[in-house]
Each structure stands twice: as C-alpha cells, then as structure tokens.
C-alpha cells in the first residue's frame, strides 16, 4: 500500500529576452506549497521570489514566507548555491521551501540552455541540442573504491536486560577531564568557533584538556604544539571520520582521509596504525522521531555489525537528545563496551557539555591513546555544573 507521496511540478516561461518565470508546486501527504521565482537568463541570478503555503503543520509555518527573500540575488550557478539554499532558506525559512526552490533553480539552469540553444538556432537552424552542448562535456574521472577486505571483529558478548534509563554521571574532582569531541572553524566548516576561542572557553570552564576532532581533518603536530605552548594548555589531536556507517572518532591515525571511507577499511587502517576508534552519536535520530519510533530496540541495535568494528561507544554527545544518548548507553552496556563523552561542540556555549573523565593525568597523545585502550575512564556531564559555579 502507498504510505507517502510527494509530487513536484515545475513550469518555466520566458519573459522578454532575459528573464525566466519559474512556477513550482510541491504537494505531499503533509505539505502543500508554491513558489514563483524569476531568474535572469544572462546572469542566472534570482531576481524575485514569492512563496505561498497551501497546507502546513505548525501555526507558525507562515513565518517562513518573508524569510524567502534572503535568496534574492543568489547566483544559481555558483558552486555553493545548493549549500546556501539549504543553510539559509532551509534553516531560516523552511526545508520544504528550500527543496522546492532547488528544484525550480535546477530546472531553470536546463531551461536556460534550451533558450540559448533556440536563440543559436535562429542563425544555425540545423544545430542539434547535442551539438550545441558539445563543448561542455565532462570526462568522468571518479576513482572507484578499492575492494573491501576482511577485518578483525570481536566475539559477541553476553546479554543484559534494559529497564531503567542509564543515569548520567557527574564528574568528580579526582579525575582528569578532557572534552574529546569538538570542532573548530575553519577546519570544520560547520563550526563557528575558532581554535583559540575553544581553548579559552575550555580553560575558563575548568576542563583539564581538549582534543580537536575536526571532520576529516588532521591537525599538524607542529600547529597543535604551538597552540599548547601559546595557551599553556593541553591540546590533543583526533579526527572525526565519515564512514559509510556514520561518524567515527579516531585517535592515533595520522592519515588524512578525505571523502567517505567504508567502516571496514577504516578499521583495517586503525588496526595497522594501532589507533583507537569510537563510534560517535551512534543513534542520532531525526528531528521528529527517534530510534524507538521506528521500532529499534537496544537488543536489535546491539546486532549492528558496525559495533563490532569500533573500540568504544560515545554515549554522551552534546548534540543529540537525552533519549538518544540513553539508547546508546543501553546498547554499549549490553555489549560491555567502553564508553566516552564529548561535547561535539561547534560553538562556544557547548564546549565541555559532556566530556570523558580519565583516572590519571594525561600529558600527550601517546598517553591519551594508552588510556583509551586501557579503559579507565567514564563519560561525564561537565559544563552545566561548572558554569553555574563560575
């Protein structure tokens, strides 16, 4: 039986020699919306944009309409156009308007080609569309991924029962507390805090150290050493790597991995480099539903092969809901896996929200790696208590 349907209909007309009028309708089981956008044929710039709701969910959805104006002036052929629409229209107005606007603008780019081809045909009536485009061919150079290799996995563990929520532990004064998951700008484009500001904030709230885990970015040892000297503070290096199975925090791996790597290949590399892998926010769900809503139980989740390819599970992550953290904690407990905490901070206010409390002092990356493997640490809630006490 059909559970859901979304239709998008786009029609484009030409006005004069330099303007396209694009009308788009999105209609699905939940939403109905329309936009009218005008786009310059020569400069491919959005000249005007109007939106209209037919059906929506929250009583405040109409607030999205004026925010659409942010996209006026965008060049639809710019490299970052899609990204800007998602970020600006999607976030400030509404993701469904962003989706429809992209559909309209992608269509408009094709319509422009047709219009220019028609114009060209006025002086060259035999010109085919393929011939017109012939000068714009792109040769595919994409490298195929290497075949997957078998890698070492751990044996299954005994079962446990999941009844109560796993209590979040507060840090105690005896350990050594490091926020081992954080992002800085520009190394992570999604972050809005510089490395200097993140260090200042970490010092201010009383963390013993931080570990930089920018997305698929390897900090040079010299740069981190300079930061350590300049701030007189413990700054360590890790990396958050995107795999085909989600994000993984890796410590002790120097190779700069770009793009997507399979989790199995990453495991192979980590084993060869004697590195340590922590699955980050493993049960981060969607905006309106979490793992339970799709019938995922901790017992079922424990069967995920990915959990056999990592050394530890992040069960306190500052960017997910308490319920999602709790779910991860139950899964990790069921598998008797090591557990960590980290803020996943992308802005000052989140630094140290959660962290990992080690039993002994850590002074460098070798000691961090050894401590992670040893297992004498626990995830803790940190920032809230510290900031209220400042």
Please give the residues from 341 up to 370 whose contact with another protein meets the rule CB under 8 A.
349-350
Tokens of 160: 């446990």
Question: Is 63 among the residues that bind another protein (CB under 8 A)?
Answer: yes
Question: Is 150 among the residues that bind another protein (CB under 8 A)?
Answer: no
Q: Which of 326, 389, 327 is nearest to 352 (CA)?
A: 389
| From 87-95, 179-187, 366-374, 381-389, span contacting another protein (CB under 8 A) | 87-95
Q: Which of 20, 305, 47 is nearest to 152 (CA)?
A: 305
CA–CA gap between residue 33 and residue 97 (Å, rounded): 7
Question: Is 321 among the residues that bind another protein (CB under 8 A)?
Answer: yes
Question: Is 116 among the residues that bind another protein (CB under 8 A)?
Answer: no
**What is the smallest separation between the CB atom of 264 and another protein, expressed in angstroms?**
10
130: exposed, middle or buried (Cβ count in 10 Å: 0-12, 13-18, 19+): exposed
Question: Is 248 among the residues that bind another protein (CB under 8 A)?
Answer: no
Q: Is the dihedral of CA 94, 96, 100, 106 positive or negative?
A: positive
Q: Which is nearer to another protein, 13 or 161 (CB)?
A: 13
| From 100-108, 162-170, 336-344, 369-377, span contacting another protein (CB under 8 A) | 100-108
- Count CA within 13 A, CB hemisphere, residue 255: 16
Q: Please give the radius of gyration of the chain, using alpha carbons only, rounded to the nearest integer.
A: 26
**What is the smallest separation between the CB atom of 148 and another protein, expressed in angstroms?**
10
**What is the smallest separation between the CB atom of 150 and another protein, expressed in angstroms?**
15
Question: Is 140 among the residues that bind another protein (CB under 8 A)?
Answer: yes
The correct pick among 19, 28, 194, 255 for binding another protein (CB under 8 A) is 28
CA–CA gap between residue 346 and residue 215 (Å, rounded): 11
Q: Which is nearer to another protein, 208 or 247 (CB)?
A: 247
**What is the smallest separation between the CB atom of 6 and another protein, expressed in angstroms?**
5
CA–CA gap between residue 390 and residue 387 (Å, rounded): 5
| From 138-146, 172-180, 219-227, 358-366, span contacting another protein (CB under 8 A) | 138-146
């Amino acid at each position: 039986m059909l559970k859901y349907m979304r239709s998008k209909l786009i029609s484009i007309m030409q006005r004069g020699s330099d303007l396209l009028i694009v009308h788009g309708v999105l209609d699905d089981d939940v939403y109905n919306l329309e936009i009218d956008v005008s786009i310059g044929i020569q400069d491919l710039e959005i000249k005007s944009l109007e939106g209209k709701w037919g059906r929506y969910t929250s009583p405040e959805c109409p607030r999205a309409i004026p925010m659409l104006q942010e996209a006026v002036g965008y060049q639809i052929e710019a490299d970052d156009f899609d990204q800007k629409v998602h970020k600006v229209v999607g976030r400030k107005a509404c993701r469904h308007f962003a989706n429809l606007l992209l559909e309209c603008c992608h269509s408009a780019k094709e319509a422009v080609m047709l219009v220019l081809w028609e114009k060209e045909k006025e002086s060259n009536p035999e010109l085919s569309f393929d011939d017109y485009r012939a000068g714009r061919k792109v040769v595919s150079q994409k490298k195929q991924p290497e075949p997957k290799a078998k890698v070492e996995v751990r044996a299954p563990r005994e079962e446990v029962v999941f009844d109560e929520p796993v209590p979040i532990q507060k840090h105690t004064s005896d350990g050594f507390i490091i926020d081992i998951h954080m992002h800085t700008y520009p190394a992570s484009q999604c972050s809005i805090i510089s490395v200097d500001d993140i260090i200042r904030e970490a010092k201010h709230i009383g963390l013993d150290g931080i570990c930089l885990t920018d997305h698929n970015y390897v900090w040079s040892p010299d740069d981190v050493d300079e930061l350590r000297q300049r701030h007189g503070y413990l700054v360590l290096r890790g990396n958050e790597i995107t795999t085909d199975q989600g994000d993984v925090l890796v410590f002790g791996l120097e190779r700069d991995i770009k793009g997507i790597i399979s989790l199995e290949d990453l495991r192979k590399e980590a084993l060869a480099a004697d590195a340590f892998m922590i699955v980050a926010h493993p049960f981060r769900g969607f905006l309106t539903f979490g793992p339970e809503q799709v019938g995922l139980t901790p017992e079922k989740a424990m069967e995920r092969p990915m959990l056999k390819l990592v050394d530890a599970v992040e069960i306190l992550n500052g960017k997910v809901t308490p319920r999602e953290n709790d779910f991860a904690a139950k899964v990790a407990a069921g598998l008797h896996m090591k557990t960590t905490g980290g803020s996943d901070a992308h802005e000052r206010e989140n630094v140290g929200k959660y962290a990992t409390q080690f039993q002994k002092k850590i002074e460098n990356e070798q000691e961090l790696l050894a401590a992670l493997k040893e297992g004498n640490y626990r995830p803790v809630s940190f920032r809230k208590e510290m900031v209220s006490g400042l």
